Amino acid sequence: MRRKIVAGNWKMNTNYEEASRLAESLRSAAADGVQVIVCPPFLWLSLVKNKLENTNIETGAQNCSDHVKGAFTGEVSAEMLASAGIGYVILGHSERRSMFGETDQLVLQKSLQALQAGLQVILCVGETLEERQAGKLHEVIAHQTLHVLKNTPESYANSIILAYEPVWAIGTGLTATPEQAQEAHAFIRTLIAEAYGKETSETMPILYGGSCNATNAKTLFSCNDIDGGLIGGASLKAEDFNAIIHSF
């Protein structure tokens, strides 16, 4: 049995008031058998964590440094997150790759920092529309996934969650069809098997992200290789996020 997970990526949204209110309204969002993770901006992590105290909802960051500590103005280390009780970090998100120039090598370095600090990594992979149309879906996903997995000791495999996020579906209202998503997820599972063997590939969760909402979550989550979702826009509305959590 694989873990079922719904993670909310707030991106650079919410001010102090809004973050407090949203976290407060998520307290009742937990559902049996589903790991819920909320990833607010760095500044609100402790606030949100406190608001969610005594629920089984976890908090995660949206990024971390590839360095341990030192003169890196403006950066936040994995160890800082871990010491504040944050359990997860999203890495390799396409917005970080495209807007902040994050390469597969940088994503790997960040991921190793996070894993060594005891965090669980939500590793995002996905193709652009041009790459899909050029028939490069498998090549792109394979490179993004294997560069991290093959350079990460297998002892960390239990702390890695994959997220398939087709770039063309993120924030666009275009969702991958369940068939497209399932096909990509099944392929990612073969990549996990290539890196760590079949047994691990059957236990590592793979989340779908990209305009996943309260309406389409049920069909997506019912696909064999889809173990939950990484939710952007719809995670900012407690009612929608709650409905997605209850879509299993």
- In angstroms, what is the minimal distance from the CB of 89 to ligand PGA? 13
8-state DSSP, 69: S
The closest of 97, 160, 157, 171 to 127, measured between CA atoms, is: 97
Give the C-alpha separation, 177 to 1, whole Å: 24
- In angstroms, what is the minimal distance from the CB of 94 to ligand PGA? 7
- 93 labelled catalytic: yes
Residue number, nearest CB to ligand PGA: 232
Q: Which of 171, 177, 197, 239 binds ligand PGA (CB under 6 A)?
A: 171
Binding of ligand PGA by 211 (CB under 6 A): yes
- In angstroms, what is the minimal distance from the CB of 5 to ligand PGA? 13
Give the C-alpha separation, 7 to 29, whole Å: 12
- 95 labelled catalytic: no
Q: Which residue has the tokens 């407090």?
A: 20
Give the C-alpha separation, 48 to 55, whole Å: 12
Give the C-alpha separation, 136 to 148, whole Å: 19
Give the C-alpha separation, 84 to 79, whole Å: 9
Spatial contact of 91 and 114, defined as CB atoms under 8 Å apart? yes
Give the C-alpha separation, 86 to 120, whole Å: 9
Binding of ligand PGA by 216 (CB under 6 A): no
Residues 12-51 that bind ligand PGA (CB under 6 A): none
Binding of ligand PGA by 153 (CB under 6 A): no
Q: Which of 93, 127, 147, 185 is catalytic?
A: 93
- In angstroms, what is the minimal distance from the CB of 195 to ligand PGA? 23
Binding of ligand PGA by 9 (CB under 6 A): yes
Nearer to ligand PGA, 60 or 233 (CB): 233
Tokens encoding 243: 């409905």
What is the contact surface with ligand PGA in residues (CB under 6 A)?
9, 165, 170-171, 209-212, 230-234
Instruction: Report, as residue numbers or ranges, the catalytic residues.
Output: 93, 165
